[in-house]
Structures are given as C-alpha cells and as structure tokens.
Structure 1
Amino acid sequence: MSINSHEQKKVSPSSSGEEDTFTIKVLICDDEPLARERLKTMLDKTGGIETVEDTAANGTQALELIEKNQPDIVLLDIQMPGMDGLTCAQKIADMETPPAVIFCTAYNQHALDAFKAQAVGYLLKPIRQSELAKSLKQAQRLTQSQITALNARNHSNEEHVVARTRQGVELIPASDITLFQADQKYVTVSYPKGEVLIDEPLKSLQERLGDSFVRIHRNALVARKAIESMSQSDDGFYVLNIKGLNEPVTVSRRHVSSVRRVIQGTSR
C-alpha cells in the first residue's frame, strides 16, 4: 500500500527556504468513541497530519469514508461489530489506489493475518505517541519496491513468528532465526538484528516449523542451517556452536545423538 501522493496537499515552503512538505490525510476507524478521540488527539500533536473529520466505528463505515475522503492512511481497529478490521483491510487492498493501513488493536494474535492483508503497521494498545508517529513516518516512506517485496512475502508459504519490538509488532521470517530459547513463559528469539521475546510455546513452534529446527534441549530449538559444530566441555556437558552467536548453547544428553546425526547429514 502506498500513499496517494496525488491527494496530498502541498504546504507552502517556509521563509527559511526549507523544502516543501506534505500534509498526510488520516482516517480513524475504531468502535470505541474514547479510542477514536485519543487517536485524534495524538494525530493533532503530530506535524503534517490532517485528520478526516468523520470517523468510522466499523469496517463498512471505513470503506464509505475512504471512498468519500480518499485518505492516505487508515488507522484501523481489528475487533469491531459488523465488518471487522481484517475484512476491511482485505477490501482496501483490492482498491485501485488503496490507502496505507496501520492496525491499532489490543490483540497481538492477529498480527500475521494483518500483514497478510498488506498492513504497513501494527500497533498494540495503549498506543504511545512515539510509536504512532514512527508508524506514520514509515507508511509515508514506503516505496514501490518495498510494497512489491511485502506483497511477495505475504503471498509466500514461508513461516513467520510474531514479536513485539521497539518498532511495534513485527513479523520475523523463520529463515532468519537461529535459536529459540525458552525461559518461563517467554521464548527468546535470536536472529541477525538481535533478540526479541515472543509468547508462542516451543512445542507449537516445533510443530509449525517442522524439520528446519532441531530440538537440542527441553528449552531450546536451533535452526539446522545455523549449526556449526558440537563439542564436549571438560565437565562432560555437550555444547553447540551456532552461527551468529558468540556463546555456545548446551545440548541435553538425551538429544546428543539426534544432534550428532543432524551434523553428520543424516536424520532419524
């Protein structure tokens, strides 16, 4: 989804000679009046934003207001009476010149479906001013090449995990992940950008991701392609060296044989 640049209103350059800027038109859709008012207040504090005067309480109203006002960005709740946000986003994606969609919701379990609906952002309530401003900026800067890549990813069969990071809720391709390590109720995900926490259990991850990940401990899964070598420490414990990680990871005795077979290129 891209910003409808032909609908943007140009603001006159300042006397200091700064470059022209654009006002971005934003439509709010949420079934809670207080939530709509809070978003409007936050938008009013964000420079370069024009909020559509009418707001929507469900997906049907949002589609009508998009047709009428041609906004550049829609802030869209997910769980609403009548047409929900995901259904609305799918209909928006089929438009000839669709506005960008940023989901604003209290539920993180819909993130995968949201990105499949080509949303460019996914914010969890209570939404912070800084998070909203960042998502709006990202939506404005989305290039056509990024849109193509996003669409290709969303229509592929590759698995992803959903994580909440400082940038909001993100989808991390399973192919980028080297290690899942459980600690109480959360799982730490190691990937090239660092580490993030998710709340999907290891058992579910292993079932969903299949043979691309190997169980090396009751609390750890490792990507097959990330395994470099296994060695035995002086105290008799086995450890695994993993690509991209500075510290080796312990292999439980019950999994040593299966990990060794993986390293040797064989399987059970």
Structure 2
Amino acid sequence: MSPETVLKVLIVDDEPLARERLRTLLGDLAVQLPSTVVGEAANGLQALAVLREQAVDVILADIRMPGMDGIELAGHLGSMPKPPAVIFTTAYDNYAVQAFDLNALDYLLKPVRAQRLLTALQKVRQSPPPSAALLGEIGQQVRGGGRSHLACHERGRLLLVPVPEILYLKADLKYVVAHTRERDYLLDDTLTHLEAEFPERFIRLHRAVLVARDALAGVERAADDDAEAYGWALLRDLPDRLPISRRQWGPVKAVLQG
C-alpha cells in the first residue's frame, strides 16, 4: 500500500456516539493520513455483512458488543484470503489491553485520541493482521466463553453458523460436519478444539462425535454383536442415532441423569 493510498475504513461499535467520534477524528486526520469511511456496523455480524459487499483496508472495532464481539469478528476475518487489518477500541480492563498489545495490530483506549488513532492507522501499511488462532484464544479469556458463531467457507462465501443451533458435530475426514435442523455445514475446526472451547455446550460421545447436551433425549445399549458402538444416543425430535463409545457411556448417562 503506497503512502498516498486512501485507507478504506469500517467502523464497528454498538454505541452511535463512539462511531461518530471516530468519523470526526478520521476527518481531522485527513491531511496527515487520507481515509474514507466506507461503512458502519453495530456488531461483528453486521460488519461481516458489510464486508461481503465492500472492500476494506482497516476495521476500527469495539471489543465488547452484543451479537458478535470485536475479537470474534477479527477471528473470522483471519480466515479470509486478504483480511483487513483490525484495530481494537476498548474502555475495559488492563488485562485485555495487555493481551491486545501483544497479539493485535493495535488497540485504542476510549475516549480515542487523534494522535493515537493516527499512530495506529500508520501501522496498517506495515504490519500483517493478527492470526485467527491467537485472537480466538484471547477471546475466550476476555469474554469467558467460546465463539457465538462458527465459520463455514462454501463456494467462496463465508457462512456463519450460530453455535446454539448446532445439534451435533461429526468428524468427516479432514473436516468437521456441524448438523443443525435446517442443514449441515463443513467446518475447518477440529473436534478436539471445539470440545475444549465449548465444554458446557457439547459432550463427547465417541472419538468422532460431539453432541449438544440439550439435544440429548436418551441412550440405548447396542446389540452385543454391534461393532460400531457400545451404545446409541437418541436426539430430541430427530431420527438420528449417534454412536457412544464404551469409555463415554458413563459420562453421557450422567448428563442425562443430572
């Protein structure tokens, strides 16, 4: 990116006044660093919708937002072929600031100051975006839980799968298939990673299957000559039966009894 290039900026914040302040500051800095605001969004989901229609160089993203926070947004961007840079804005604790200082392109403490914004934007031309994996790990620490959506790349599009809609996850060669009531999605995640990220949401049935705890309706023992499973999990309002290994039989029954 040449020094004369006008930066295309997307502002993401659930507070309208915060978005307005960033617009004003960008206007004030136009002589030193030309930029144009190509869109605004109130959360990560809206931001991804904008990005499907508009090319962006840098996103100014609040950290804590309803629906999808800034860290999760940045994690999804990390899987794009040419992701925009992300600069976080935050009014929150020092722990989060230290984490972003190590792993993000930059962060801005609210209220954002013009000189700090200029310094952060100047890094866009020099620094690669942070990795999705690092942002995912930080996000779990800051928000105290896993992502709200999982990413599915399908025919050049990024589809977002709401985690509460996933009934079970099944390993299929190098992919994981997320099953919802409407359809299936191929994910790039591993079962091991998803199990660690969502321990309260999913329980392992088998080396190749995780199931949502609230989707379990019951279990039944497999026939003695059934080589595929020690038992079968029954799902609420679905005909699907999922295999349970001998090792997981006890933990699964405990979930149903609890």
Provide TM-score, normalisation by structure 2. Answer: 0.47
- TM (norm. structure 1) is 0.45
